[in-house]
Structure 1
Amino acid sequence: MIALTVPGWGEVRVAHLVLDYNGTLAADGTLLPGVAPRLEAIHRLGVSLHIVTADTNGTAAQQCAALPVELLVREGGAVAREKAALVERLGPGETAAVGNGRNDVDMLRAAGLSLAVIGDEGAFSGALLAAHVVCRNIAEALDLLLLPHRLKASLRG
């Protein structure tokens, strides 16, 4: 688990991380460079990893096969509901979420800590507004969890 105290914010506890795939962890269906080692490092900290995706490119299972993640592939409109429902089941107070798209908005709103990324696909404006922190790319977002002093600097009040 990742835990830190942020002045003006309070306790941040991350036992679970829920992530979008395409546009967040991957571009055009291919996992972005540096993502795998960062996810493995976060997992070693005791954080469970969950990827929920519509799998637009049909590559998520193959690309994530060697990663310590639970992969959930959902069709169309069900993916947005499933992302938010998973955060609720895991416990919003100990769950962080990372996404970039319209179907990530409810997940980002539900999570105790939410990070939006602006990657190769860009980002839906509603996702940016729903997030606690906006990052330029997935490497920066995952590094906030691995280097929590950066997260503390962004959240402190």
Structure 2
Amino acid sequence: MLLVDIPGRESLKLENLVLDYNGTIAVDGNISIRIKEMLEDISKFLKVYILTADTYGTVEKQCKDLDVSIKIFANENAAKCKKDIVKALDGQTVCIGNGYNDIEMFKISDLSIAVIGEEGCCGKLINYADIVVKSPIDALELILNPNRIKATLRG
């Protein structure tokens, strides 16, 4: 669990990290070594879920040595699939994504982080994000250094 006491706001007691795959933590279906290392560290205190339609067919190979749960769904109704997965989780959840199909899961998450990475970010998603960052590494650094979350969200 990750406890984040945000001055002037309700504390977060995060138990789950939900990540979009392509465009968020993966570029062209591949995850960098640095992101893999960060996910290894985060999986020691949060349950990590990777959600994807697996456009490139690489998610299982790229994540085989990581302590994460992979949820693959069909391209159709991706937004609903993601929302249903997040809704079914126990405990508070932080969601990280970059696409239009992440909007619905952002709406129900306890903390949402939009990533403007190499593939860009859906402009509409930013309206539902608590925090917007310029890379997946920046997003994961927020989780590893929660004082950055406090500084950004304090009331």
Shorter-chain TM-score category? over 0.9
Report the CA distance between 1:130 and its aligned residue. Answer: 0.9
**One-letter amino acid of the counterpart of residue 81, structure 1:** K
| Gapped regions of structure 2 (runs ≥ 5) | none
Q: Given residue 106 of structure 2, which amino acid in structure 1 is its aligned partner?
A: L
132, 145, 148: which one aligns with 1:147: 145
Residue identity in the other structure for 2:13: R
Match of 1:39 in 2: 39
Percent identity over the alignment is 39
Report the counterpart of residue 13 of structure 2 in structure 1. 13
What is the CA-CA distance between 1:79 and the residue it aligns to? 2.2
Match of 1:61 in 2: 60
Q: How does 1:25-36 map to 2 (within 5 A)?
A: 25-36=25-36
CA distance in 2, matches of 1:33, 1:5: 31
- Structure 1, unmatched stretches of 5+, are none
8 Å contact from structure 1 (residues 4, 13) kept in 2: yes
Alpha-carbon distance in 1 for matches of 2:33, 2:60: 17
TM-score under structure 2 normalisation?
0.96
Which amino acid is the alignment partner of residue 5 of structure 2?
T
Q: Find the aligned partners of 1:80 and 1:55 in 2 and give their Cα distance.
A: 14
Q: Deviations over 1:11-57 (max 9, x none)?
A: 11110011100000100111034111111111112x10111101111
3-state SS of paired residue (1:14): strand
Deviation by residue 1:50-80 (Cα, 9 ceiling, x = unmatched):
1110111111111111111110111112321
Aligned residues: CA RMSD: 1.1
Measured in 2, the distance between the counterparts of 1:8 and 1:54 equals: 38
